[in-house]
């Protein structure tokens, strides 16, 4: 039985609902007031487009419109003009493939899924109708109508996934009964790609953003000027996205015990910096409005990412931080991530999932599985993996894969192609590139998922990507304990802890008891307070208000911020703290 480290003091200061307060007077309407506000914008009649993100509760929106605006002419653009489901399925069949997890990235646009003649008929109906006319649905703005008001009904991808787990289908798909993994695949490779292309074209046309992350009855309507003001404010100061926590078969208890997260389940993951999935909470007009954080990436990529990072990745946030809790849980699956050439040619993704494990905590006997053993018998290892996948024998992982002791503040580097997994009784801060879905599981220790179904194993993909020359000696030399002291000053030390030269992310750790100078140097910084209860981030020029972060909180410093400082605050004054900071190397 593992010996667990003594528990930290419970840290209720960890904030699971960080907000961006928007100064000034901004009117936010909520619930039934949303529809009254829309009606009063056009008291003499006119046209409104409510363009939704796929996953929005469209029946709920239609019901609310019927109840609160009974005299309005409401047209569901999807029912009126979208192609039949079977034609859409045929269009995207090559993107979905037969695999349960992996598809091919779609380059469709939303207009591919609509009949142009039917869109013209919608426009004619709008033209002919009197009074208030509302076109609603994903693609409402595709109808050739000169709209008086444009509303974007938006929600975060994580909320979409929760709805799909509860039985919601993908857009125009009869797949509510399918397992959630296949629904996520369709979203990741098709729906969300198409939706984001469409949404980016709406930002300059918007009059309102409708927050539909909660029920339609509790929706919030944010004027476009407040939406844009919030995004403009976010890139001038440090901020946090809204973390979400998820159970898993190997999950543990550390986050519940140390971060004050209330859950009846074990918790496997905390996704606390995945802007494609997470949200921003904007505090305006006495209300909290939730908007997808990807909207910030799309709207202000240069100020957020920096010119050189934007030139390299486009409007995509390339760095991901998440936490993996196996404390009192089990091993992660033994896995490998695809090489760049493989992910490009097989899945159409332009960069891959390089990553690393930074240990926030670990028991006395915790280990990380990393790299294959020297002179490993490749064919025997693959054969034993197939045998284990068939369920006829267990896989003797320690015969083929190195295990390294894992201690608090150790940092293990995991360039794509390296066999790896975190063992039980660890608390890992995973610092990685963003394409999080591309994990080739090789062995899952005989478990099934929370749904009772075995989790997918992808041995063919894995075998094509394992770098067999990353043996014991190479792994020890290149991926374990690569700490290099770079600089120091009064009360602080800067170390480079990774990543490997094959990975595009660089990581610096700062130990400090006093003020530490930082500078974004033209690229986005992502940080986590990995030691200490509380620190404060300040601008040397007063460019933003001083801002406090707490233990284990991940935060983003936009490239446009430039110089900033971090120092101990509150209960941490006089103590030794540490942050880890990730940024795109070479920028």
Report whether 357 contacts 414 (CB < 8 A): yes
Look at residue 453 and tell me if it is in a domain: yes
Answer with the one of 423, 450, 478 that is the final residue of a domain: 478
Average pLDDT per 10 consecutive residues for the chain, totaling 587 residues? 41 87 94 96 97 98 97 98 98 96 97 98 98 98 98 96 97 95 97 98 98 96 97 98 96 95 93 94 96 98 98 96 97 97 96 96 98 98 97 95 98 98 98 91 93 92 98 98 96 95 96 98 98 98 97 98 98 97 91
Identify whether residues 271 and 323 lie together within a single domain: yes
Identify whether residues 256 and 180 lie together within a single domain: no
Identify whether residues 472 and 385 lie together within a single domain: yes
pLDDT score of 531: 97
Identify whether residues 491 and 445 lie together within a single domain: no
Identify whether residues 176 and 263 lie together within a single domain: no
Identify whether residues 211 and 349 lie together within a single domain: no
Answer with the one of 190, 218, 239 that is the final residue of a domain: 239
pLDDT score of 205: 97
Identify whether residues 363 and 488 lie together within a single domain: no
Identify whether residues 468 and 576 lie together within a single domain: no
> Which range of residues forms the domain containing residue 35?
19-239
CATH code of the domain covering residue 490: 2.60.120.10
Look at residue 492 and tell me if it is in a domain: yes
Look at residue 50 and tell me if it is in a domain: yes
Look at residue 23 and tell me if it is in a domain: yes
Look at residue 552 and tell me if it is in a domain: yes
Label residue 574 left, alpha or beta by phi (over 0 means left) and psi (-120 to 50 means alpha).
left
Look at residue 304 and tell me if it is in a domain: no
pLDDT score of 405: 98
Collapse the DSSP code of 359 into the 3-class scheme (helix H, G, I; strand E, B; otherwise coil) and give the result.
strand
Identify whether residues 163 and 79 lie together within a single domain: yes
pLDDT score of 481: 87
Number of alpha carbons in the 13 Å side-chain half-sphere of residue 165: 10
pLDDT score of 306: 98
Tokens for 141? 């703005």
CA distances from 203 to 66, 136, 230, 241, 296 (A): 27, 17, 13, 20, 11
**Could you tell me where the beta strands, DSSP code E, fall in 58-138?**
73-76, 132-137
Identify whether residues 115 and 70 lie together within a single domain: yes
Answer with the one of 444, 478, 512 that is the final residue of a domain: 478
Which are the contacts of 501, defined by CB distance < 8 A and separation ≥ 6? none
Task: Give the chain's length.
Answer: 587
User: DSSP character for 331?
Assistant: P
If one counts the domains in the chain, the total is 3
Look at residue 253 and tell me if it is in a domain: yes
**Which residue, 268, 554, 577, 242, is CA-closest to 427?**
268
Look at residue 524 and tell me if it is in a domain: yes
């Amino acid at each position: 039985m593992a010996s667990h480290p003594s528990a930290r003091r419970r840290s209720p200061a960890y904030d699971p609902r960080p907000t961006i307060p928007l100064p000034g007077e901004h009117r936010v309407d909520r619930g039934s007031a949303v529809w009254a506000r829309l009606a009063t914008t056009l008291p003499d009649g006119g046209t409104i487009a409510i363009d939704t993100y796929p996953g929005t509760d469209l029946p709920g929106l239609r019901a609310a419109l019927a109840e609160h605006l009974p005299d309005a002419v409401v047209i569901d653009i999807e029912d009126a003009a979208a192609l039949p489901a079977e034609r859409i399925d045929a269009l995207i069949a090559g993107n979905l493939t037969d695999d349960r997890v992996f598809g091919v990235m779609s380059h469709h646009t939303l207009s591919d899924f609509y009949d142009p003649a039917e869109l013209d008929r919608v426009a004619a109906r709008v033209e002919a109708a009197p009074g208030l006319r509302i076109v609603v649905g994903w693609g409402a703005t595709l109808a050739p109508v000169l709209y008086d008001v444009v509303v974007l009904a938006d929600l975060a991808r994580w909320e979409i996934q929760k709805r799909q787990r509860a039985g919601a289908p993908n857009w125009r798909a009869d797949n509510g009964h399918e397992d959630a993994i296949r629904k996520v695949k369709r979203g990741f490779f098709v729906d969300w790609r198409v939706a984001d292309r469409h949404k980016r074209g709406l930002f300059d046309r918007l009059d309102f953003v409708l927050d539909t992350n909660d029920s339609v009855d509790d929706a919030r309507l944010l004027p476009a000027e407040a939406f844009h003001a919030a995004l403009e404010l976010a890139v001038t100061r440090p901020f946090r996205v809204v973390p979400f926590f998820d159970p898993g078969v190997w999950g543990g208890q550390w986050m519940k015990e140390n971060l004050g997260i209330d859950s009846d389940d074990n918790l496997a993951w905390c996704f606390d910096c995945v802007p494609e999935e997470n949200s921003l909470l904007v505090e305006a007009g006495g209300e909290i409005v939730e908007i997808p954080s990807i909207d910030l990436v799309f709207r202000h990529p240069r100020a957020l990412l920096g010119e050189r990072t934007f030139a390299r990745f486009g409007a995509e946030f390339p760095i991901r931080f998440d936490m993996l809790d196996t404390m009192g849980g089990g091993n992660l699956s033994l896995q490998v991530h695809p090489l760049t050439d493989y992910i490009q040619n097989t899945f159409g993704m332009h960069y891959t999932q390089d990553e690393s494990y930074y240990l926030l905590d670990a028991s006395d006997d915790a280990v990380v599985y990393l790299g294959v053993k020297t002179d490993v018998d490749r064919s025997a290892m693959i054969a034993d993996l197939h045998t284990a996948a068939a369920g006829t024998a267990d896989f003797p992982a320690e015969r083929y894969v190195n295990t390294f002791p894992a201690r608090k503040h150790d940092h293990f580097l995991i360039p794509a192609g390296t066999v790896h997994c975190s063992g039980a009784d660890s608390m890992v801060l995973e610092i990685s590139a963003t394409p999080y879905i591309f994990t080739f599981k090789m062995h899952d220790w005989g478990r099934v998922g929370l749904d009772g179904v075995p989790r997918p194993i992808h041995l063919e993909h894995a075998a094509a990507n394992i770098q067999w020359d990353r043996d014991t000696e190479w792994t020890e030399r290149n991926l374990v304990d690569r700490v290099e002291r770079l600089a120091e000053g009064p009360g602080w030390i800067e170390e480079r802890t990774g990543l490997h030269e094959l990975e595009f992310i660089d990581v610096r750790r700062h130990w400090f008891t006093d003020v530490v100078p930082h500078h974004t140097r033209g690229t986005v910084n992502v940080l986590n307070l990995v030691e200490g209860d509380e620190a404060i981030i300040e601008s040397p020029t007063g460019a933003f208000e001083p801002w406090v972060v707490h233990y284990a909180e991940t935060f983003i410093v936009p490239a446009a911020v430039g110089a900033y400082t971090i120092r101990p605050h509150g209960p941490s004054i006089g103590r030794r703290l540490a942050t880890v900071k990730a940024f795109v190397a070479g920028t």
